[in-house]
With several copies, the nearest count.
Chain A
Amino acid sequence: MVTIRVQAEDFDPTVETAVLTKGRTDVGAIVTFTGLCRDEGGMLNALELEHYPGMAEQELARIAAQAQERWPVQGIVIIHRFGKIPPGERIVMVSVSAWHRSEAFCAAEFLMDFLKTQAPFWKRQNLGDGTSGGWVAGKEADEEALERWNTK
């Protein structure tokens, strides 16, 4: 059971993860990652998230399918926002349900590592003075985070 949504609106993680447990009593563990818009130096007015409509949803579904192939997970919810997101607000959530915690942790971290580098979203900084701080550059650390999944 996989739920993928790409939307401008905020979301409530508890509401969104309810689908993972509704009507069933065999779920033992849920791991939910929430990514927030972070303002490191007090300079940021908002992040502007651009995405590739259609491919964004498809790519998230492909990443979810890969996680399901690797671990015995019961359900996955991925929600990614686009548009203007001020500091402190949620950008993304990934939630995984499983019989046991270890699979849920692994799959959630895998999903985030792949989402960061494979899902077609791009962040631009909108600074407090109204100017653009430019496009956020891809991080070396994020590329490296992918590699460890090849050896596991």
Chain B
Amino acid sequence: MKAIYFAWVRERIGRSDEEITPPASVANVEDLMVWLTRRGEEYAHAFENPKVIRVAIDQNHVKHNAPIAGAREIAFFPPMTGG
């Protein structure tokens, strides 16, 4: 699946998107953030406070307990500040 990062999540990780292939044991969004955190310091920094991270699967907002099975695109970003 494709992971996309926005705003300071993108800046901390140092890229705007990438292909990821988490193992089957990574079932939901929360699991995925833990798994990403292990990829390196930049990920650990981005996800240091996972509660504030908002997530969208296939361009729909989801909660952290949402399953990721079948997701094509999963986005991580801070609280939105448009308008």
Contact = CB atoms under 8 A, between A and B. Distances in A.
A49 B59 CA distance: 18
Main SS class of interface, A: mixed
Nearest to A82: B82
Contacts of A51: 82
Contacts of B4: 52
Given A54-B59, A58-B59, A124-B7, A119 B77 contact: no
Nearest to B79: A138
B61 interface: yes
Contacts of B3: none
Interface residues of B, number: 16
Contact of B80 (A92, A121, A124): A121
Given A120-B6, A135-B7, A52 B59 contact: yes
Interface residues of A, number: 29
B67 interface: no
Contacts of B79: 117, 137-138
Nearest to B16: A50
A45 to B, nearest CB: 18
Contacts of A35: 83
Contacts of A91: 82-83
Interface of A: 35, 49-52, 54-55, 58-59, 80, 91-92, 101, 112, 115-124, 135-139
Given A116-B82, A137-B79, 4 more contacts: A55-B56, A119-B80, A124-B7, A135-B7
